[in-house]
Amino acid sequence: MEHPARSFPPDLFHLLATLLWVLSVPWLLFPHVAPALAAVGLALLLLVRLAGRRWTGSFLPATPLDSYLFSYFFFVVIAFVVSPLPQLGLPKLLVILAGVFGYYQAQPWLRRPAGGERLVWLLAAAGPAVAFLGLFALALPSRQVIDLTFVTDRLPRWSGALINFNEMAGTMVFLFPFTLATVRHPPRPWLRLPATMATLLMAFILLITQSRGAFLSLAVAGLAWGVWGRLRLRPVLLVAAGLLVIPLVLLWWLPADVLAGWLAGLDAGSKGGQVEAISWLSRLEIWGNAGRMMADYPVVGAGLYAFDPVSRANYVYQLFSPNSRLTHAHNLALQTGATLGWGGLLALVGLWVVIMAGLWRAGRLLAEPRGRRLAAVLGASLAGYLVFNCFDTITLGQKPGLLVWLVLAGGGALAGRLERGKAPVMPGRWTDLLVAAPLLLFLLLLPTPALARNRANLALDRVRLAGVAPPAWLTARQFAGDARRAGLITFVRGDTPAALATWRQDPQAVAFLHNQGTLAAYRRDPAAALGWYNLALALEPGAAEVYYWRGATFQAAGATRLALADYERAFYLAPARGLDVSLQARIAFDWGRLLAGNGEWPAAVAILEQAVALDSNVPLYYKYLGDALMAGGDEARAAAAYQKAGLDDTPPR
């Protein structure tokens, strides 16, 4: 007798469940638009899975990736719970949940004879759709590897928030193999032409992003596609491990100045245009701070997607501008290790090793050519994605990450076909190790001092970032060996002299306090900014750069005389401090401009002349010098200054 639980047609159930997922995804991707609908969508997806157990016999369809996905999700949930700013991680958690539900909802369709091909066509259609959006909403970069401004200047632009060009570049790299596969093997002959046009559109969008990491990633994806499944798995894994280890050894072994020189040379040689020559050096700074976060938050991480606020609150940034969005660590492994802890990093590594190994073996062992082609396309896409994530980051919790979840679903379905054919994805001992290692490491760290350090650091972050009162147990003794955080908790508790005495043990204390002041200034909190600057100057009275930023804060607050005094101190202390000549010129310019705005024309002329003497390549300096000379009645010298500024010999009206 047929059980009533199975009387509901499975195909109809899968169709209804898929429709509910499609309807819920937009609200989960944009929960701020309608939080109530996002909550309803999540509840419906949970109910669908509960109903699946009743009508299809299983809560979730079994796949070879289940253990790795559950392990990764375990660390994601812990990082969300302990985060000092859970509101930052909630939207990312919802994207991950949407991806997990999508992964399992896609399995019944992908297991059908043409399911994999339909996934390729779906992702091939997503590529030109995203690229078309980029024509109107892409934030164009200032650097130019290839000067395309004659084209980009004519593109129609939307106002308001734009799509980050690196995020667009990574998405194009990820989707490119699917459109190209559709060109090579279209479902209908007449679709080859539109697929070709879509590929060209995506190539154009990728080109105008000017992302060097994306260009390299696309080349690796093409190479991977060409060799996918042609070699045995073991030597491929050894080569991949070697390519990963060699750069890490070089980073550790090379002297910092040599490495910085190499990066600066490569950076300058591969771009042009009006852009600072430190973009790759700033990546090195971000990676260094991400590594420090991994050491400071090893057990449960710093909080789900809390990299930006936590790293800025605890570490020094001298190259990366405080008014630029940091967002993530610009490296998937460092981002995961810093925010989820070491166990979370191992869980993600295990997931990627197994999916790539499964796709490689599918491309080698599956009997039908269609399955091997599908494995190669999925593998090439993920290979490009992983290389791109060495230099930038599109995580499983970002909105484009939903597409990655769909590719993972395709890989999981192919790996399942291997297992059903009695061909394991990996040897059993390696599978057991990859599954057990994250949880085992997590359990081993629990009884060690690493947990106490992680807990204390998170508690201090909540005090500083969320504004909660410090718990009674959180004292300087919790931060033995960490003078910066020990000084911070002492300062929070109101003992400024003791905090300063503690900070003197930190060689980067002045730069750190200066950073905190600059961040407060950009948050339009002048009182907090001045407080941080005063602490820095109490430690180092000759810190010219701090006087400069404190002067700018005074100026913004309308305290002109105090600003002028700080600009003067900054200017005369700068040479002894060893500040760059261009920064010395900027200090002189801001000082002279404020003097001019205050009507002190002779003094303004004298200081602005020093600015142009220090840096004669900035037209704006000459323009303000001309204004000051004109106001003082020296029209001849003013005309000469205007000419050097690129203006005519009359004052601008």
Asked whether the predicted pLDDT for residue 275 surpasses 70, the reply is: no
Asked whether the predicted pLDDT for residue 139 surpasses 90, the reply is: no
CA angle 245, 251, 254 (to 5 degrees): 125
Rg (CA), the chain: 29
Asked whether the predicted pLDDT for residue 96 surpasses 90, the reply is: yes
Contacts 24+ apart (CB under 8 A), 518-524: 518/322, 518/549, 519/312, 519/322, 521/549, 521/552, 521/553, 521/556, 522/322, 522/323
pLDDT of residue 498: 96
Query: Any idea which residue has 């809560």 for tokens?
Result: 59
**CA 512/CA 517 separation, integer angstroms:** 9
Mean pLDDT of 618-625: 92
Structure tokens at 322: 């405080």
Confidence of residue 429 (pLDDT cuts 50, 70, 90): confident
Q: Are 96 and 73 in contact (CB under 8 A)?
A: yes
219-267 pLDDT, tens digit per residue, is 999 999 999 988 888 888 888 888 777 777 777 777 777 777 777 666 6
Confidence of residue 428 (pLDDT cuts 50, 70, 90): low
**CA 4/CA 54 separation, integer angstroms:** 9
Render 315-331 in DSSP notation, one character per residue.
S--SSS-TTS---S-SS
Q: Which percentage of the chain shows pLDDT scores above 90?
A: 67
Confidence of residue 159 (pLDDT cuts 50, 70, 90): low
Confidence of residue 272 (pLDDT cuts 50, 70, 90): low
pLDDT of residue 321: 80
Mean pLDDT of 59-76: 92
Lowest pLDDT segment from 60-64, 300-304, 451-455 = 60-64
Those residues with Cβ within 8 angstroms of residue 639's Cβ, 6 or more apart along the chain or in another chain? 626, 649, 650
Lowest pLDDT segment from 82-86, 523-527, 641-645 = 641-645
Q: Are 401 and 99 in contact (CB under 8 A)?
A: yes
Amino acid found at 43: A
pLDDT of residue 252: 72
pLDDT of residue 237: 82
Q: Are 175 and 129 in contact (CB under 8 A)?
A: no
pLDDT of residue 243: 78
Confidence of residue 4 (pLDDT cuts 50, 70, 90): very low
3-state secondary structure (DSSP) of residue 138: strand
Confidence of residue 270 (pLDDT cuts 50, 70, 90): low
Mean pLDDT of 196-213: 92
Q: Which percentage of the chain shows pLDDT scores above 70?
A: 92
Asked whether the predicted pLDDT for residue 517 surpasses 80, the reply is: yes
Contacts 24+ apart (CB under 8 A), 29-34: 29/94, 29/95, 29/98, 29/399, 29/402, 31/90, 31/91, 31/94, 32/91
Q: Are 528 and 550 in contact (CB under 8 A)?
A: no
Tell me which range, 61-70, 279-288, 450-459, 641-650, is most confidently predicted by mean pLDDT. 450-459
Q: Which residues pair with 163 in a beta bridge?
A: 138
Q: Which residues pair with 138 in a beta bridge?
A: 163
* 592 vs 166, more confident: 592
Confidence of residue 3 (pLDDT cuts 50, 70, 90): very low
**CA 247/CA 254 separation, integer angstroms:** 10
Mean pLDDT of the chain: 89
* 555 vs 426, more confident: 555
Mean pLDDT of 188-196: 93
29-53 pLDDT, tens digit per residue, is 999 999 999 999 999 999 988 887 7
* 11 vs 230, more confident: 230
**CA 194/CA 615 separation, integer angstroms:** 53
Lowest pLDDT segment from 60-64, 124-128, 160-164, 546-550 = 160-164
pLDDT of residue 268: 65
Asked whether the predicted pLDDT for residue 161 surpasses 70, the reply is: no
**CA 270/CA 216 separation, integer angstroms:** 12
pLDDT of residue 206: 92
Query: Any idea which residue has 């040897």 for tokens?
Result: 427
Confidence of residue 476 (pLDDT cuts 50, 70, 90): very high
pLDDT of residue 278: 54
Query: Any idea which residue has 């900054």 for tokens?
Result: 570
How many CB atoms are located within 10 Å of the residue 568 CB?
16
340-388 pLDDT, tens digit per residue, is 999 999 999 999 999 999 999 888 888 788 889 999 999 999 999 999 9
3-state secondary structure (DSSP) of residue 163: strand
Question: Considering only CA atoms, which of 440, 315, 409 is closest in space to residue 122?
Answer: 409
Chain centroid to CA 342: 19
Confidence of residue 650 (pLDDT cuts 50, 70, 90): low
Burial class (CB in 10 A: 0-12, 13-18, 19+), 561: exposed
Contacts 24+ apart (CB under 8 A), 33-38: 38/94
Q: Are 622 and 644 in contact (CB under 8 A)?
A: yes
Between the alpha carbon of residue 181 and those of residues 125, 174, 460, 529, 624, the distances in Å are 12, 13, 51, 55, 58
Mean pLDDT of 127-132: 93
* Helical H segments across 111-211, by residue range: 115-137, 149-152, 165-184, 192-209
DSSP annotation of 82: H
Structure tokens at 422: 């009695």
Residues 254/255/259/265 CA torsion (nearest 10 deg): -130
pLDDT of residue 134: 87
Q: Are 233 and 357 in contact (CB under 8 A)?
A: yes
Asked whether the predicted pLDDT for residue 174 surpasses 90, the reply is: yes
pLDDT of residue 354: 92
**CA 439/CA 347 separation, integer angstroms:** 8
* Helical H segments across 557-600, by residue range: 560-577, 581-597
Structure tokens at 425: 């994805």
* 27 vs 160, more confident: 27
Query: Any idea which residue has 């073996």 for tokens?
Result: 361
Those residues with Cβ within 8 angstroms of residue 248's Cβ, 6 or more apart along the chain or in another chain? none
